[in-house]
Each structure stands twice: as C-alpha cells, then as structure tokens.
Structure 1
Amino acid sequence: MAVTVESAAPSVAGPALETLVRRESPSMAHTIRTDIKIALTRAQGCTVWDENGRQYLDLTAGSGVLALGHGHPAVLSAMQEQLASFAHGGWQYGCPARADLAERLVPLLPWEDPVLLWCTTGSEAVEGALKVARAATGRRQVLGFLGGYHGKTAGALGVTANAGFRSGVTEVPVAGLSLPYPVASGHVPPGAATETGHDFGQRILDHPDFGASDVAALIVETVQGAGGMQAAAPGLLSELREFTTRHGMLLVVDEIFTGFGRTGAMFGFQNENVVPDLVVLGKALGGGLPVSLVAGPRELLETVPPLRQTSTFSANPVACAAGSVVVDTLLREQLPQRSAMLGDVLVNAVAALDVPDVRLTTIGRGLMTGVRVAAAPGDRGAFTRSVAGRMRELGALALRGGTDGSVIKWTPPLTISEDELLRSVSILAEALTAESAATPSTA
C-alpha cells in the first residue's frame, strides 16, 4: 500500500504540558505525561485540536463513546434544549427525556417485556447486573473471563481479570474466578462460521468439587477492549448460553464498549443470535454524557427490591435527550452495518502494508479493531508505544492495549469516512517504517 501522509507539527511539549500535568489528578497526569502528551481543546467530527491549534485524526472516539463523532449537531441541539428546560431533578422524579429514551431502547432488546435499570457509569451498571444475578438466583459467585474488564469499583473488580487493578483492594487478589477466554484467530468478518468445543473451563465448572451450584452468572464481553481488542471465538456465546441454562446460571453480556453498532451489529450478542439473560449498556448511549443501564426481562429485573440500585445522576435528562438522538441516528443511517463494512476496509488496508521486519495481525470485530505489532526480537510493548507516539506526531491519535501493550486500537467514530480510515492506515505505515529504521535492534 502506498504511503502518502501530510506530516503534522510535533505534539504539545514543554512548559505548557507540564503546567497541565501539575493541575491534573495523579492517574490522569500519568497518562498525559507518558502516553498522550497533548491537551485537547476543540473537536469536530473525527478531528480534534490541541491547545496550539494542531489537528489530529481521532481513532479513539473518547474510548469508544462518541459513535456519532465529536460535536454532532443533532446531539448538541438535544443537549442544549434539554439543558435549558430541565437539567436535573434526581432519579425520584419522572422525566419525559428518560421515557423517550426507554421507548427507543425497548424495541431493540431481545425480550418480550424488557425492564431497564438506569445507572450512570459502566462500572455502576456492572454492579447492578451482579445484584440482579444474585437476587434472581439466590447464589453468590459471578465468574468472569481472563482478559475481561468490567470496571474498577469494588464489586466490578471481582469479575475484572487484571490482577494489577485488584491487588490490595478486593477480596479476590488473583484471577481465581476468571475463566479462559477463547479468542478468534483474527478479525471476525460478518457471518463468520461458528465453532464448537471451546475451552472456557467447562470441565472445571462441571467437576463436582468446583461448586458450580453457587455460581449466579457468567459475565462476558463479545470483544475485549481493555484486553487488546480480542474478539470471542465464533460460537463461544452459543456455548455459554447452553452451559449457563443447563446449570441455572445467568448469562450476562457486558456491551458497554461493544454496544450500539461498534462490532457491526447494534449489540455484539446479535452477531451470534444469542439471547442473554442480562445486558449491560453505556458508553456510546449518552453521546458524550454519562448514562448506563442494565437491561433484562421483567421477571429477572424485578427480583431486585425497589431502591436497592439508585444513584443521584442515573438517567440524567440531558444525557437521555442525547441518547435518543444517538439511537435514532444509528438506526436511520445504518451505522452498525457501516461499521461492519468499514471494519473490512481497515483489515484489507492493513493486510496490504509491507513494512520490513514488522509483522501485523488484525483482531477484533467491526470498528472495534486492533492491530497487533510484532517486531522481534525486541520489546513489543516499547516498540508499539513508539509507533503510537510517531502516529501522534503524524496527526493520528490511537491508544494501545493488550497484555504486552503491542496492540494499537482503532475505535473511531462510526461516522468516520473511508478516506479518513485509509489515511489512518497510511499514518500507521509511515510510523512503523520510521520506528523500524530508528530502532534496528527491534526489527
């Protein structure tokens, strides 16, 4: 693939950035100093600008939140109108904006009589799903999967596999309650053939000494975002559905990142025509504002007594007004289908690259795609960090992931143009070429 890129000016550096870092909280300052190294002040569509007026192609969409891109006119208009009329009253009061969003979501869900349990953040919604699972089954344990990420609050950490997040702050210090996560060998195309016999620890769970009768639910992502954009092996969800039904467990699908079109379907579980017991939703739903929820059939959701899951800002009217526009636009413009198509465009463009001494593998699904970089025999994570930094200098913002940091992640707005997507691949190619030449010991 030919590489034609207009070079951008170097990223923000020096006193301005250091002043910002000193004003930030410790965790945010760490990422700004070590990985990001810029401060953003303006955004529109798939483009963001730093405080010096330099522009970048945004391949992150705010960690997958901005499905319609930055500053979508209809979303902004809905926010402004709702903000001017009624911005916040607390969860106790009825709110037309909340009811409007609920009416749009209910027909999209796979149950005859779905109920929505409103929350604010993704972690909070996961906590709500755990409450529902335990109340509905009378059991205590919930099992996650290796590589899974469901949040950093106390309950959500119990099903988040990363031991570094849990160390010293939860009662589960190791991933003893995390199951193997069978992954697809590459990027999963629409209509991929299903497989059977996945090794998700079924033999262990079936062993009489394990105590599966105390397991309330399994919680799983259809693509692991924090885990490095690994897509579940085709057929895994179907196997989990059969297994959990047989054992009286609930199947909880965490669609916080994958939901609302990112994997090529409105929800990731639809790629396998599986009906879970509970679905957790968030991120893209609020159009940039925090709103999340747990969805499931009425007979399950109503096992949680009233007032057991509420929060001050749950289903905020302004976020709900934005959410109605997000859902309407996704459907009207067929953005889930477009995500599937653009995912194939991205995969084919990466496959056409030929960078000496560097091997690339695409993984994921739709516009939730990772490019795994292998430049042996050096440190893959360090090399990939340098590549992401070089991409930033060339005008594209991308985050890294994976257990060794060797995956560059594409989660752009679903409205990204094909030209912009191909430009991002050209930037990747130039960054890889430059870093490979600059660090011969890793190439």
Structure 2
Amino acid sequence: MTKNASLHARRGAAIPRGIANAFPVYPQRAEGSEIWDVEGHRFIDFAGGIAVLNTGHRHPKVMAAVARQLEAYTHTAFQVLPYEPYIEVCERLNALAPFSGDAKSVLFSTGAEAVENAIKIARAATGRPGVIAFAGGFHGRTTLTMALTGKVVPYKKKFGVSPPGIYHLPFPAEDQGVTVADTIKAMDFLFRADIDPTDVAAIIIEPVQGEGGFLPAPTELLVALRATCDKHGILLIADEIQTGFARTGKMFGIENSGVEPDLVTVAKSLAGGFPLSGVIGRAAIMDTVEPGGLGGTYAGSPVACAAALAVLDVILEENLLERAKILGGKIKAALDGFATRNNVVPIAAVRGPGAMVAFDVVRERGGFRPDPDATKRVIQAALAEGVILLSCGVGGNTIRILNPLTISDALLDEGLAMLGKALASANV
C-alpha cells in the first residue's frame, strides 16, 4: 500500500465521511506555488487552499513574521490582555476599507465567524431581524451561515430547517437565464409577499460568487442594491472572504464596481494560511454593539495577526494588484485558446476579474448545458498531469483557477500546459 493510500485508509477509519476530500493526496511540504506529497510527487497548486494562498505557500516574509511572534507570545485572548498586532491589523484594514468615512474592524478566526458577526452587527445597528442573500452564494457551514448559503446539497441536506428571517434572491447568470431585471423583480416581490423592507437588517452578497461558479455580480445589480439599502435603511454587506486581498486586481472585489458597502467580511488570504478573519465596517455601525457582544477565545490570534501584517506588506511590495491583472490576462488567453481546439472537452464562458478566473465544461461547443462528468474527468486528469484544480458552480461544471499571485511566469505556463493536456485526455 502506498503512503497516500495508507494515510487515506487511516483517515477513513478516524474521520467521519461528512468531511470530504478533493483528492487522496497528502502533502509533505510546500513552497511558493508547488506542493510535494508524501510519495515525492510534485504538484503545481492552482487551488491555493481554496483561495487562501494569494501570497503562496510559506512566503519568506510571512514565515519570518510568524517566527518572531512565536518567540514573543502565542495567546493571551484579546479580551483579557489586548496586544499590538491585533490593533495594527485593524488599523491597516481600516485604511483599506472600500468605503468613505471612518472605519473600525474586529477580528475572528474563520470566514463563517466573520459572516455571523457581520449579521450580528447589522441587526444591532438596525434593530431588525431580516437578512437577504442570494441563490448560489456561499457564506459558511455554521447554522446561520448555512442558512445564508444558497445551495442545499451538500451544505443543508439533513441539517433541518434554517433559522427564520433569511431570504434568497436569484443571482444573475446568463446560463441559467437570470438577468439583473429578474433579480430586482424578485426583490420587489419579496418585499410585497414575505418581508417589509423596514424589517430587513442587511443584504449580503459576494462581489464574485465563489462556490456558486465564479459569477461576478453585475455592477448594475450592486448599484441597485445600494440604492435599495439607502432607501430603506438596510445595510449592504460585501462578503469578500474569497474575493479579497488582490485576487480580483483590487484589494477588495467590490472596488471593481465603485459601489460602497457598509460592512465587509474578510478571511482566507488575509493571513497567508494562518486562521484569521474579520469584519470591516463604518465606525458608527460597528460601535452599536455593546461591550462584550463581540469576540472569541482565539479571535485575532497574535500569530495570525503577525502573518497578516506581513501579507499586507507583500501585496504592496510585490505589486500583487497589478500582478493579478497580468496573471488573469495570461490565464484567460490560454483558456480562450483551449476553447478553439477540437481535441479537448468543450469549454465555455471564460470569466472573472483579475486572477479570479473560471470556465465551464459543457456538453457541446457553443452551448451552456453543463457536463459535470467531464468536469470530474478533467480534474482527475489534471491531478495526474501534476496540477491541482477545484470545481464549483451550481451545475458542478465550473473549474476555477486560484494559483498564488506570487507564481512565476514559468510555473504558470507549466500549469496551464498541464491543464491543456488534461482537457485533451478527458475528451473521451
């Protein structure tokens, strides 16, 4: 039995099947944009731990900052003994906030924690219970964030009825025949049939849907949501957990639209692989919560804060905002080239701002019908070639590319060549 197989057998015996694994591959070490497994196989990482590694695996500056913090202290609980790294991260986030006026931030550990606390803050600030989210959106796996998530299987199946006060609107998607006008019409219907807008605390939206298929929210929709929020005193929450920290060519994805949110949730690539999340919000809104209403034992770990400060430096020093645009252009050009070939599985709808790029695997060239079986073949063929990819989308046929923004041109080209081979070998 191979080392991977042996570990996977142990995993099956010790860990419930409710936690799925994309691949039975167990890393031994990683560096930059590359991973080596326990059997010595080398992979180019186009998954980034699900968009966590915009600055790559073990960036030297991040690792040095973590090492210094480990020599000082690892935990005090910020609510017991506060520490400077937490304050400094919040100061940096406040300065980056994608809205005008004063900002304040609070830190947590996971994306779901950030979303839950954004909803708590919105409800405290407005005195209202209702929250509107979108079909296809992903906001977490806790009871509240699972309710916000707009996909039943696998996130809600067998877990019972969702908490009250959560409503979903259709998300604009060409392949599903949903337009912005359809979404606005559905919102008007919601306000007539189910909840008065004066009972809605917040509308939460991903500037680019992640799990939903890397679907950018049209600027027209975001403008309309902002106008609706302003009219009815509703808060607009931008869930930037996957789109944040340079992935889209802006620090935050919503900046591509020019629309200003009231609250922003962040996590994933904030701390280069260390667990850290947060909520950035307008100062007056953030201060509506009573002392003790926010926090968590591990929230804002000093080690993760040290990593985050280094990540923010790297984004600036290595000009990753511009690098994301360059990488995205190269990736989309390669995918457009693959789409013209007759010897590969049919692909369509190459899309995404910056380096948040995806494409769909379809049943026929020029069509929209999803082919999830072919998508699985492509993913497995890519792994055999040596590149790690992830699928997503409501039809299970979207392949997303989330390589580190620090990847070299040579490694990117090598990974894209492997993807091209995988598309060809999956064309059976």
- TM-score where L is the length of structure 2: 0.91
1:77-106 Cα deviation digits (max 9, x unpaired): 100110111110012212111122222222
Give distance in 1, aligned partners of 2:413 and 2:7. Answer: 32
In structure 1, runs of 5+ residues without a counterpart are 1-10, 186-194
Cα deviation digits, residues 135-179 of structure 1 (max 9, x gap): 111110101001000001111122111123224435338997111
The answer to whether 1:199 aligns with 2:183 is: yes
Specify which of 137, 142, 158 is matched with residue 148 of structure 1: 137
**Displacement after TM superposition at 1:406 (Å):** 0.9
Match of 2:354 among 366, 373, 381: 366
Alignment of 1:100 with 2:88, yes or no, is: yes
Per-residue deviation, 1:72: 0.6
Judge conservation of contact 1:183–1:232 (CA < 8 Å) in 2: no
**Mapping for residues 135-214 of structure 1, pairs under 5 Å:** 135-164=124-153, 165-169=155-159, 171-172=161-162, 177-183=167-173, 197=181, 199-200=183-184, 201-207=186-192, 210-214=195-199
Within a 5 Å distance, the mapping from 1:294-309 to structure 2 comes to: 294-309=279-294
Contact 2:122 2:202 in 1 (8 A): yes
Task: Name the residue aligned to 1:345.
Answer: 330
Contact 2:45-2:389 within 8 A present in 1 as well:
yes
How many residues align structurally?
414
Percent of aligned positions with the same letter in both sequences?
Answer: 34
Q: 2:38 aligns with which of 51, 65, 74?
A: 51
Aligned-CA RMSD value: 2.3
Name the SS for the 2:264 alignment partner. Answer: strand
The residue aligned with 2:107 is: 118
Question: 1:250-399 maps to which residues of 2 (within 5 A)?
Answer: 250-353=235-338, 354-356=341-343, 358-361=345-348, 362-376=350-364, 380-399=371-390
Structure 1 segment 16-35 matched on structure 2, within 5 A? 16-28=7-19, 30-31=20-21, 35=22
Going from structure 1 to structure 2, the CA distance change for 1:15 and 1:196 (only over 3 Å counts) comes to closer
Residue aligning to 2:418: 427
Q: Residue 228 of structure 1 corresponds to which residue in structure 2?
A: 213
Q: CA deviation at 1:76?
A: 0.4
| 3-state secondary structure, aligned to 2:324 | helix
Aligned-partner Cα distance in 1 for 2:13–2:164? 34
* Partner of residue 408, structure 1: 399
SS at match of 2:377: helix
Structure 2 regions of 5+ residues with no counterpart?
A: none
Contact 1:283 1:292 in 2 (8 A): yes
Query: 1:12–1:345: structure 2 CA closer, same or farther, 3 Å change rule?
Result: farther
Query: Quick one: distance in 1 between partners of 2:217 and 2:296?
Result: 32
Instruction: Output the amino acid matched with 2:262.
Output: D
Describe the SS at the equivalent of 2:421. Answer: helix
SS state of the match for residue 202, structure 1?
Answer: helix
What TM-score comes out, normalization by structure 1 length?
A: 0.88
Amino acid at match of 1:26: R
Partner of 2:73: 86
